[in-house]
C-alpha cells in the first residue's frame, strides 16, 4: 500500500541519518557488532545492574502519555494528557494504520500543525499492528523490558535496532508534540543516552515486579 511504502521510505531515510549520527558517537568497540538476538555482544562492557537501572529510568518515559497513548490496550489509540480514547471512534485497524475509510494519515500529517485540538504529526504516524500491538499498559518494568528485547514482539529488532528506533522522528515527536500536549519532561538527549547505556551495558532487565 502506497502510504506505508512512502512513509517507510521516509522513515528509512530518517533512520539512516540518525544511525549515522548515532554511529559517530558510539563506542568504537561495539561498532561492528549487530547481534541477532537479545544476548549482548562479547565485546560490550556488561553491567546488569547499570543496565537495569537505565531501563527503569527509561520506563518513566515509556509510560508518559506521549508514548502510552499509542501503546495502551484496546483496538484504538488514545489522546491527550489524560489518555482518553481517541475521539471519533478511530480504530487501530489490522495493520495499525486505521480501518477502511479512516486511516491515520487521513488526518495526521508528517509534521505538527498550528493550534490546539488539531492532529499532531510525524513521519509514519500509525499504531503498532494487531499482530504485534506493542501494548505496554499494565506491564511491570521487567515485563516491558522483556517485550522490548523480544524480536517476536518488538517488530523483529535486535537491541541495536531498538536503539536506532528510539531516534526515529515518530518517537522523538514525544518531545515536540505540538500545542496543548505536554512534552516528555525528561530531556531528549538524556533519554537517548540512557537508551544507549542500557544497550551498551548488556540490556539487562529490572528484577522488581512493580507494575506501572
Partner 1 sequence: MRVSRRHFLKSSGALVVSFSATSLTSVGAMAQGPFDTHPSHIDPTKLDSWLAIGADGTVTAYTGKCDLGQGMFTVQTQLVAEELCVPIERVKLVECDTSVAPDQGTTSGSQSTPTNFNSGNLAQAAATAREALINLAARKWGEQAEQLVAVDGVITGKSGRRIAYGELIGKKSFNIPLSTTAKRRSPQQWVVLGKPVPSLDRIALMTGQFEFVHNVRVPGMLHGRVVRPPEVGATVTSVMESSVKQIPGFVKVVVLKDFVGVVAEKQMQAAQAARQLKVEWNPGPGLPAQASYYDNLREQPSQSTLIVDSKDVAQQIIKAKTSVGATYRYPYQLHGSVGASCAVADVKGDRATVWSATQSVYPTRNVVAKLLGIPQDNVRVIYVRGSGCYGLNGADAVSFDAALLSHAVGRPVRVQLSRQDEMAWENFGAACVVEQRAGTDEKGGIVAWHCESWITSRGGRPGYDQPGNVITGVLAGYAPELPNPEAAKEPTGKLRNRNNVVPSYVAGCVGGLCGGGGNIRSERVISHTVASPFFTGPLRSPARIQNTFAHECFMDEISAQAKADPVAFRLQYLSDGRIADVVKAAAKAGKWESRPSPKPDIPRTGIVSGRGIACVAYEGDNGYAALVAEVEVDLGTGRIHPRRFTVAVDCGPISNPDGLRNQTEGGILQGTSRALLEVVTWDDKRITSTDWETYNSLYLGFDLPMVEVTFIDRQDVPATGAGETAITVVPAAIGNAIFDATGCRLREVPFTAERMMAALRARG
Partner 2 sequence: MSMISLKVNGRQHTLELDPETPLLFVLNDELGLRAPKFGCGMAQCGACTVIVRRQAMRSCVMPVSAVREDEVVTLEGLGSAEKPHPIQEAFMAEGAAQCGFCLSGVILTAKAALDEKPQASDEEIREALGGVLCRCFAHLRMLRAIRKYADSRKA
* Residues of this chain that bind partner 1 (CB under 8 A): 87-89, 114-115, 117
Q: What is the CB-side half-sphere exposure of residue 12 using CA atoms within 13 A? A: 6
Please, which residue, 80 or 151, has the CB nearer to partner 2? 80
**β-strands 78-79, 98-99 pairing:** unpaired
| 115 scored as a contact of partner 2 (CB under 8 A) | yes
| 10 scored as a contact of partner 2 (CB under 8 A) | no
Q: Which of 117, 131, 152, 189 binds partner 2 (CB under 8 A)?
A: 117
Please, which residue, 35 or 119, has the CB nearer to partner 1? 119
Positive or negative: CA dihedral 77, 79, 82, 84: negative
**Cα(124)–Cα(3) distance, integer angstroms:** 9
Q: Please return the burial class of 209, using the count of CB atoms within 10 Å of its CB with bins 0-12, 13-18 and 19+.
A: exposed
Of 40-48, 115-123, 133-141, 179-187, which segment contacts partner 2 by CB under 8 A? 115-123
C-alpha cell at 81: 494528557
Select from partner 2, partner 1, none the partner in contact with residue 5, using the beta carbon and a kind-dependent cut-off of 5 to 8 Å: none
| 5 scored as a contact of partner 2 (CB under 8 A) | no
| Interactions with partner 2, residue window 25-54 (CB under 8 A) | none
Whose CA is closest to 176, among 100, 112, 128?
112
| 3 scored as a contact of partner 2 (CB under 8 A) | yes
Amino acid at each position: 500500500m502506497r502510504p506505508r511504502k512512502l512513509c517507510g521510505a521516509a522513515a528509512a531515510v530518517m533512520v539512516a541519518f540518525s544511525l549515522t549520527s548515532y554511529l559517530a558517537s558510539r563506542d568504537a568497540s561495539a561498532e561492528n557488532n549487530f547481534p541477532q538476538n537479545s544476548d549482548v555482544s562479547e565485546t560490550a562492557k556488561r553491567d546488569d545492574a547499570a543496565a537495569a537501572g537505565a531501563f527503569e529510568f527509561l520506563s518513566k518515559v515509556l509510560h508518559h502519555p506521549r508514548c502510552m497513548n499509542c501503546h495502551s490496550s484496546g483496538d484504538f489509540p488514545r489522546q491527550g494528557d489524560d489518555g482518553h480514547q481517541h475521539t471519533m471512534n478511530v480504530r487501530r485497524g489490522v495493520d495499525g494504520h486505521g480501518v477502511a475509510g479512516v486511516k491515520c494519515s487521513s488526518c495526521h500529517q508528517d509534521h505538527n500543525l498550528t493550534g490546539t485540538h488539531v492532529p499532531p504529526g510525524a513521519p509514519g504516524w500509525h499504531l503498532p499492528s494487531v499482530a504485534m500491538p506493542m501494548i505496554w499498559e499494565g506491564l511491570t518494568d521487567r515485563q516491558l523490558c522483556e517485550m522490548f528485547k523480544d524480536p517476536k514482539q518488538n517488530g523483529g529488532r535486535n537491541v541495536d535496532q531498538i536503539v536506532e528506533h528510539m531516534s526515529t522522528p515518530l518517537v522523538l515527536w514525544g518531545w515536540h508534540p505540538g500545542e496543548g500536549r505536554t512534552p516528555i519532561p525528561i530531556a531528549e538527549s538524556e533519554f537517548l543516552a540512557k537508551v544507549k547505556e542500557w544497550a551498551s551495558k548488556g540490556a539487562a532487565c529490572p528484577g522488581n515486579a512493580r507494575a506501572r
